[in-house]
Amino acid sequence: MAYQISDECISCGACEAECPVSAISAGDDKYVIDADACVECGACAGVCPVGAPNAE
């Protein structure tokens, strides 16, 4: 299953540059992941300061 970003996201933007397939972009109130593009590498979860990206 693709990663998703929870409401814990503080829109710091750190994850966007880490995604190897550019699946992450800024949304209205948090960053969002394109589920069709995500390859489940976990890089976003590794850099997020609040643990918002998860594979649930």
Which residues would be at the binding site for ligand SF4 (CB under 6 A)?
A: 3, 5, 9-15, 18-21, 23-24, 31, 33, 38-44, 47-48, 50, 52-53
* Minimum gap (Å) between residue 4 Cβ and ligand SF4: 9
* Minimum gap (Å) between residue 45 Cβ and ligand SF4: 7
Residue pair 7/56 in contact by the 8 Å Cβ criterion: no
Task: Report the distance separating Cα 48 and Cα 53, nearest Å.
Answer: 7
Return the number of the residue (13 or 56) whose C-beta is nearest ligand SF4.
13
Q: Left, alpha or beta for 30 (phi > 0: left; psi -120 to 50: alpha)? A: beta
